Amino acid sequence: MNRFFLPYQTRWIRDRGRKRLMEKSRQIGISLATAYDLVVKTGKRRGPFDSWVSSRDDLQAQLFGADCARWAGLLHLRCGECSEILIDPDRKISAHVLPFHNGRSIYSLSSNPDAQAGKRGHRVFDEFALNPANRQLFAVGYPGAIWSGGMDIISTHRGTGNFFNQLVNEIKHKGNPKQFSLHTVTMPDAVQDGLLEKLKNKWREADPGDDRLRWSGDDFLQALRDGCPDEETWQQEFLCQPGDDESAFLSYDLIAGCYYKPVEQWEMDVAAVYDRRQLPAVIDRRYNPQGPLYIGVDIGRFHDLTVIWVAEKTAGTLFTRKIICLEKQTFDAQEKVLYPLLALPKVRRACIDQTGLGCQLVERAKKKFPRYRVEGLTFTAPLKERLAYQLRCAFEDRTIRIPDDRLLAADLHSIRKTVSAGGNIRFEGERHKNSHADRFWAACAALEAAATSTDPSRIFAQLI
C-alpha cells in the first residue's frame, strides 16, 4: 500500500470505522484513496453492500467512477465496464456504475440529494461542504447507511455556517454524538507526509528543467499562500480553518447556491462584434445571449481593479455572461474594452461607478451612447447599503447565476457590514492583492442596471 499512498491516505484507508469524516486541504489525493478503499470494500468476493457516491457534479462523478475502474483493474477484481445508466427515469437521475461479478456495484452520482433516496448501502459524500443542499443530502442518505454499510463525509470547509462545519464542531466540542471518526489533513500535514516529493516526481517526468523541482516544503507552501486571493482563503482552502460567515454579508453557502453547473456554457460569445486582433481578451466563442443584456462597472485605476460585469436577464433571473477584470489600465484602455460592449444591440442599460476617478469615464460614455443606456452611480453610504441588500436578496432568492470561481467567491464573501458609533451602516471589503471587493460592487451595479432599466421605445414615445 505504501507504494501508492502517503501516510495520511493510508490512515484513512485503514480506518475501519462505520462513520468517518475528513476535513482536508484541497488537492491532496483523498478522492483517489477513497476510490481504492471503496473498490476493496465493494468488490471483494462476499462484498455485502453496494456503494453510493455523491460527487460535487456530474463531471466529478464520472472521474470518480473512472478512478474506481482503474483500481479494480490494478487489483485484478472481476468487474464490468464503468458506464452511465439512468437509475431514476422519472427524475432523470443517472449514475456512473461499476458492476462487480459478486453482484455489487459502485454508483457514482452528482450531488442531487434525491438520488440518494431509497438506496441501501455504503455512502460517500465527497466535497460535502460545497453542496448547497448538504443538510438535505445527509438527511436523505443517512437512513440507508444505518442499516447497511457506513458513511464517509469528505470535504474542504466552506464557511462557519455550513452544516459540514457543524458536524466537525459536534465531533470536536460536543461529545461527538453521531460517533464519527475524524481525520484532519492540512496542506502542511500533507507536505510533511511526502506530498511535495510525489508532486516533484510528476513534474520531473513532464519537464526535467521545471523550476519547482528546487522548492523546499516552505517554498511550496509559500507559493500556494501567495496564490490565494486573501488570507482567509488560504486558511480555509489549505489549513482547514472555515471562513468567518458570522461577519460576512454573503456566506459561502449563499454564494455556492447560485453557481452554474460545470457543464453549463455561461460565457457570452461576442466574436461577431469584435475583430479578434483588436480585442482578444474579451472574445469567447461559448454562448450567444438571447435576452436583454445589462452591464455593471466598478472603476479602478492604480490600486483597485476595474471590473465589467455583463449579465443577461431571462425569466426574472440575472445570468452572468462575462466578467472582465482590468488591472492598472489607463482610462483609454478601459474605454476600448467597455465601449464595444456598450454598443452591443442587446444591451439595455449600464450602471457605471462615477465615484471619484469614474466621473470622467461616465461623462464620456454618456456623450457617445444614448442617454438611456448609461447611468452613473455615486457610491454614497445609503446607495451602497441599498445595492448590497439588493444583491443579497438575489442570492437568497437564487435569481442570480454566477460562475464557480475562487477569486470571485472570495471577493463576494469579503464584504462586511459594520455600524459606526453614530449608527451609520457601512459596507466595506478588505483590500488585498487581488481585489478590494471590486467584483462585488460590479455585480451590484449590473443588478441595479437590470432593476432600473427603461425600454428605449418608451423614452422615444415620450419625446415625440
Backbone phi, psi, residue 137, to 5°: -60, -45
Query: So what's the pLDDT on residue 432?
Result: 60
Handedness of CA 353, 357, 359, 361 (dihedral sign): negative
The three cell numbers locating residue 91: 427524475
pLDDT mean by block of 10 residues, the chain; 464 residues: 90 96 97 96 87 90 95 94 89 91 93 82 94 91 83 94 94 95 98 97 96 97 91 92 85 92 82 43 57 94 88 95 92 92 93 89 91 90 92 96 93 83 74 74 96 52 35
CA pair distance 66, 81, nearest whole angstrom: 10
Amino acid code (one letter) for 45? R
Residue 280 confidence (pLDDT): 41
Topology of the domain covering 252-463:
Nucleotidyltransferase; domain 5 (3.30.420)
Burial (CB count within 10 angstroms: exposed 0-12, middle 13-18, buried 19+), residue 133: middle
CA dist list (Å): 325 to 127, 263, 307, 309, 379: 29, 23, 5, 9, 19
Domain 7-189 has CATH 3.40.50.720: no
Amino acid (one-letter) located at 223? A
Domain-wise residue ranges, the chain: 7-189, 252-463
Q: Are strands 374-377 and 83-88 parallel, antiparallel or unpaired?
A: unpaired
Predicted TM-score of the model (pTM): 0.74
Are the CB atoms for 269 and 284 separated by under 8 Å?
yes
**pLDDT given at position 224:** 96
Which residue type sits at 449? A
